[in-house]
Amino acid sequence: MIAIDGPAGSGKSTTAAAVAKRLGFVHLDSGALYRAVTLAALDAGAPIRGQRVVALARSLPVRLRLTDSGVRAEVAGVDVSREIRTTRVTERVSEIAALPVVREWVNAELRAAAGQAPGVVMDGRDIGSVVFPEAGVKVYLTASSTERAQRRLAQHGHADDTDAVAAAERDIMRRDAHDAGRTVAPLVVPDEAVVLDTTGMSFEDQVDRVVGLAKRAFGSLDTVS
Ligand code: CDP
């Protein structure tokens, strides 16, 4: 288990996906599950109360499914990978992720999904601290909030729009404050985690650093290319 935590837009998911590919591991994006639960709750128009949201997630069901082409988020059997990245979900996800029973449900799902794979890279906010404190490698990825906002917009081809960068930076800072300030499983640097500040670092270097940590921790990995 390689646990990658960090604030919004620090590149956890893209890094985790690339590391998993290099090592032949499965990538599990815990944020995608929180986003899928949020999407389901918003679509149901249900009041945002923990037990209600969990009942909905169980009955639909909401889940991460391991497929031949990777892991995808599903609601009622439908692939929602795109829809979970929309603004209406991003705006509400931290609120739903702060509900303790929702976190318990997500954690159980993540542990069950991880149990099916021999090697896993999981990214989120509390993976090294709460979900898998025994992970063999723990990384805390971070970068300046401006760089994180620019990267987020670069994914959509708008990195030189200064107003858009400022708006994305405000959203990122708002979510960081919410995630770090909550009572249950707040965003923290996990014990024993290697902190990687990627401001100014290339994506390839970022991936190499994590793969290097994995090789050191796990010894020779047969599948490493
Ligand atoms: O946008 P970004 O990729 O940074 O976020 P994400 O990983 O998709 O996670 C979306 C939201 O889910 C976060 O802002 C947190 O509120 C919540 N989350 C969490 O609380 N714990 C996790 N392990 C993962 C995500």
For residue 179, what is the DSSP state?
Answer: H
Question: pLDDT tier at 221 (50, 70, 90 boundaries)?
Answer: low
What is the number of the ligand 1 atom nearest to the C-alpha of 175?
A: 14
> Which pLDDT belongs to residue 225?
46
Please state the rounded mean pLDDT for residues 84-113.
95
3-state secondary structure of 113: helix
> Strand 2-5 relative to strand 137-142: parallel, antiparallel, unpaired?
parallel
- pLDDT tens-digit series, residues 123-165: 999 999 999 999 999 999 999 999 999 988 887 777 778 899 9
- pLDDT tens-digit series, residues 174-220: 999 999 999 999 999 999 999 999 999 999 999 999 999 999 999 86
How many whole angstroms from its chain centre is CA 53? 20
Q: Which residues line ligand 1 (CB under 6 A)?
A: 8-9, 13, 30-31, 34-35, 93-94, 97, 124-127, 175, 179
3-state secondary structure of 40: helix
Alpha-carbon gap, residue 37 to 98, rounded angstroms? 12
Alpha-carbon gap, residue 213 to 224, rounded angstroms? 13
- How far does residue 69's CA lie from ligand 1's centre (Å)? 23
Alpha-carbon gap, residue 113 to 1, rounded angstroms? 12
What is the number of the ligand 1 atom nearest to the C-alpha of 182?
A: 20
- How far does residue 138's CA lie from ligand 1's centre (Å)? 17
Look up tokens 């063999």; give the residue. 136
Q: What is the mean pLDDT of the chain?
A: 92
Q: Where are the alpha helices (DSSP H) in the chain?
A: 12-23, 30-44, 50-59, 87-97, 100-115, 145-154, 162-181, 203-218
> Which pLDDT belongs to residue 14?
92
Alpha-carbon gap, residue 122 to 13, rounded angstroms? 9
Which residue has its alpha carbon closest to ligand 1 atom 6?
31
Please state the rounded mean pLDDT for residues 114-120.
92
- How far does residue 219's CA lie from ligand 1's centre (Å)? 31
Q: Say if residue 75's pLDDT is above 70.
A: yes
